[in-house]
């Protein structure tokens, strides 16, 4: 098959969407497919045998890490030259809308996928009143596709409830060869601790430092567990506010880590805390579980697809007058428990992660592509 991706985010950016796309591209090429990726400028010219075409882009004012690329005639010319069997639009915003238009104009079968729960982000940027409008825009875009893929059962249901048609589940994946428990390291643990001593549990967060991740919710956990230490791995637009918020606590801002350093960081923590209640999946949770780090996550969105409460991690309830603080504290205390129980959670977390390889997720995607290519284009919503 010849597949053209349109994505609003790709290398050199680092996040869960980019991880999924890079792994997908690799496995598609390994399976013999030809792949071209249209993404914001700054990307390499090639990745794992796929051709990448960078499109001039401008930063989104509220979220500078996200660049909006405007489609131009060169994109249409590249599509004409490549002659794809199928276009796959990832999180259609601006460049993705160009992909949708080209698919329609050139009668190319269209698949879309939903990875970022943008309507729920709005409230964290003071624009919650725009949520109904954004859902209408998303519905108009996604209903042009023959198939809309979501990364959790909760998102399949929510998009269906909002009137988005032809939804299905694109199964999760994680690199269990990179993320593994044996990378636990005293040296990395000390780096995560920074200037703090190692007398209590080392709590870990990995991901973007942004408002919608609700990282502030971890502070009451530190106050309830005075011997605990926190390492925040990653960077983002909310870092300065978080540095002020966590001032005076045993918190280390580690910055970005990648590859075996990142995998070793997961393995060296005692508990992974992921307070966000806006996740469509939460890939970092799977990475932590693969590394044998027991996890706490919100009982919302795609996270309950990954965490079985009390079996391979703990869930907390993010709502309530206290913003879920008491529930998050209780879930963390329950997870830390005693050494025997925590080791059982570690083992179960690793076992769960081992069920979800990228090769299987990509083969499932190829099956969806084959189904779409058998359908008449008239099946797409007008």
Stretch 325-345: mean pLDDT, rounded? Answer: 93
Question: What is the token pair recorded at 162?
Answer: 């909002």
93 or 17, which is more confident? 17
In angstroms, rounded to a whole number, what is the distance separating the alpha carbons of residues 366 and 28?
8
Q: Is the peptide bond before 75 cis (omega within 30 degrees of 0)?
A: no
- Residue 379 binned pLDDT confidence (cut-offs 50, 70, 90): very low
pLDDT at 119: 52
- pLDDT above 80 (res 280): no
Stretch 136-144: mean pLDDT, rounded? Answer: 92
Question: What is the token pair recorded at 18?
Answer: 């980019």
In angstroms, rounded to a whole number, what is the distance separating the alpha carbons of residues 75 and 278?
33
Q: Where are the alpha helices (DSSP H) in the chain?
A: 16-30, 73-82, 95-105, 118-121, 131-142, 153-161, 186-193, 219-224, 239-245, 259-268, 283-290, 303-306, 325-336, 339-353, 358-374
In angstroms, rounded to a whole number, what is the distance separating the alpha carbons of residues 301 and 318?
11
Computed over every residue of the chain, the mean pLDDT equals 90
Domains of the chain: 2-173+357-379 (3.40.50.2000), 181-353 (3.40.50.2000)
Q: How far is CA 195 from CA 205, 223, 232, 242, 289, in A?
A: 18, 18, 14, 18, 27
132 or 354, which is more confident? 354
> What does pTM read for this prediction?
0.81
Stretch 32-52: mean pLDDT, rounded? Answer: 96
59 or 210, which is more confident? 210
Torsions phi, psi for 84 (to 5 deg): -70, 150
Of the listed ranges 229-233, 333-337, 338-342, the one predicted with least confidence: 338-342
Q: How far is CA 68 from CA 11, 55, 60, 64, 139, in A?
A: 14, 9, 6, 10, 20
- pLDDT above 50 (res 381): no
Percent helix / strand / coil, the chain, rounded to 5: 45, 20, 35
DSSP letter (8 states) at residue 314: E
CA atoms within 13 A on the CB side of 31: 21
- pLDDT above 60 (res 124): no
pLDDT digits (tens, 9 = 90+) for 162-202: 999 999 999 989 999 999 999 999 999 999 999 999 999 99
Question: What is the token pair recorded at 302?
Answer: 């795609």
The DSSP result for 12-31, as a single string, is T--SHHHHHHHHHHHHHHHT
Q: In three state form, how does the secondary structure of 46-85 look? A: EECCEEEEEECEEEECCEEEEEEECCCHHHHHHHHHHCCC
pLDDT digits (tens, 9 = 90+) for 70-86: 778 899 999 999 999 99
Cβ atoms of 62 and 125 closer than 8 Å: yes
């Amino acid at each position: 098959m010849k597949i053209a991706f349109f994505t609003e985010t790709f290398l050199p950016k680092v996040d869960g969407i980019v991880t999924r796309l890079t792994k997908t591209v690799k496995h598609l090429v390994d399976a013999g497919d030809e792949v071209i990726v249209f993404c914001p400028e700054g990307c390499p010219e090639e990745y794992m045998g796929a051709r990448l075409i960078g499109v001039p882009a401008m930063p989104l004012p509220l979220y500078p890490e996200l660049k909006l690329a405007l489609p131009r005639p060169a994109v249409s010319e590249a599509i004409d030259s490549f002659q794809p069997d199928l276009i796959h639009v990832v999180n259609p915003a601006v460049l993705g809308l160009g992909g949708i238009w080209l698919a329609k104009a050139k009668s190319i079968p269209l698949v879309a996928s939903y990875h970022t729960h943008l309507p729920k982000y709005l409230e964290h940027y003071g624009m919650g009143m725009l949520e109904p409008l954004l859902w209408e825009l998303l519905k108009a875009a996604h209903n042009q596709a023959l198939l809309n893929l979501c990364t959790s059962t909760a998102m399949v249901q929510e998009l269906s409830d909002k009137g988005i048609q032809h939804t299905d589940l694109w199964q999760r994946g994680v690199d269990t060869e990179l993320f593994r428990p044996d990378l636990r390291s005293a040296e990395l643990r000390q780096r995560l601790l920074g200037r703090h001593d190692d007398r209590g549990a080392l709590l870990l967060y990995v991901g973007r430092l942004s408002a919608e991740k609700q990282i502030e919710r971890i502070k009451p956990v530190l106050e309830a567990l005075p011997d605990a230490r926190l390492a925040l791995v990653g960077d983002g637009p909310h870092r300065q506010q978080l540095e002020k918020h966590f001032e005076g606590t045993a918190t280390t801002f580690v910055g970005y880590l990648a590859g075996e350093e990142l995998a070793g960081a997961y393995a060296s923590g005692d508990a992974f805390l992921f307070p966000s209640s806006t996740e469509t999946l939460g890939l970092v949770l799977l990475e932590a579980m693969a590394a044998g780090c027991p996890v706490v996550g919100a009982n919302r969105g795609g996270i309950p697809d990954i965490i079985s409460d009390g079996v391979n991690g703990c869930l907390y309830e993010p709502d309530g007058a206290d913003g879920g603080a008491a529930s998050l504290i209780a879930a963390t205390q329950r997870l830390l428990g005693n050494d025997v129980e925590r080791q059982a959670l570690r083992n179960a977390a690793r076992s769960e992660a081992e069920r979800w390889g990228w090769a299987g997720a990509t083969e499932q995607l190829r099956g969806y592509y084959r189904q779409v290519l058998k359908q008449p284009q008239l099946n797409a919503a007008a």
